[in-house]
């Protein structure tokens, strides 16, 4: 599916605020409500819109610590990499997991209540996974920019 200008505008609007109604979107795009509804349905079916979520204020829900952990594995076979990804994806503290090129194997973004909660996560979940060799963690002091919308 090739995106046209209207699709792009629609996706940008939905990234801005996914609660826009089809009526509000139709007014902004100068299209009929039915046309907007069909486009949104088509974009979802084609996988452009994976899911619709609410972005929470982490402080208000008690998430006070964000950290980034570089994970080094003992082995790099297909099975070991897949097993690590499957296991780490189960942890609710892990917000993002990326396999990396370079000196370490994975980068994790971890959200916990505080340092004590991070310590428990590290000791009882992450560090005990098979094939984990080393974990180096960096703690966020302040957040200058955090975006969820892609620019395209």
Q: What is the domain-level CATH number for residue 11? A: 1.10.10
Radius of gyration of the CA atoms of the chain, in A: 20
Domain assignment present for residue 89? The answer is: yes
Whether residues 79 and 14 fall in one domain: no
Domain assignment present for residue 149? The answer is: no
Q: What is the domain-level CATH number for residue 104? A: 3.30.70.920
Give whole-number Cα distances, 94 to 68, 84, 88, 136, 139, in Å: 10, 13, 7, 15, 14
Tens of pLDDT, residues 121-134: 999 999 999 999 99
Whether residues 89 and 133 fall in one domain: yes
Per-residue pLDDT at 149: 93
Name the token pair of 89. 């994806």
Domain assignment present for residue 50? The answer is: no
Whether residues 80 and 134 fall in one domain: yes
Domain of 94 in residue numbering reads as 65-139
pTM: 0.88
Whether residues 87 and 125 fall in one domain: yes
Question: What is the average pLDDT score of the chain?
Answer: 97
Domain assignment present for residue 24? The answer is: yes
Tens of pLDDT, residues 21-45: 999 999 999 999 999 999 999 999 9
Q: For the chain, how far is it from start to end, CA to CA, in angstroms?
A: 16
Give the count of domains, the chain.
Answer: 2
Per-residue pLDDT at 1: 85
Domain assignment present for residue 52? The answer is: no
Segments in the chain below pLDDT 50 = none
């Amino acid at each position: 599916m090739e995106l046209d200008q209207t699709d792009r505008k629609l996706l940008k609007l939905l990234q801005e605020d996914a609660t826009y109604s089809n009526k509000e979107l139709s007014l902004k795009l100068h299209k009929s409500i039915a046309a907007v509804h069909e486009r949104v349905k088509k974009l979802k079916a084609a996988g452009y819109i994976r899911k619709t979520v609410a972005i929470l204020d982490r402080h208000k829900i008690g998430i006070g610590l964000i950290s980034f952990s570089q994970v080094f594995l003992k082995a790099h076979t297909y099975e070991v990499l897949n097993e690590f990804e499957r296991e780490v994806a189960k942890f609710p503290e892990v917000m993002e997991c990326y396999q990396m090129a370079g000196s370490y194997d994975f980068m994790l973004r971890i959200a916990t209540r505080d340092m004590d909660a991070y310590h428990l996560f590290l000791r009882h979940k992450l560090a005990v996974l098979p094939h984990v060799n080393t974990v180096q963690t960096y703690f966020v002091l302040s957040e200058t920019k955090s975006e969820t919308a892609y620019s395209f």
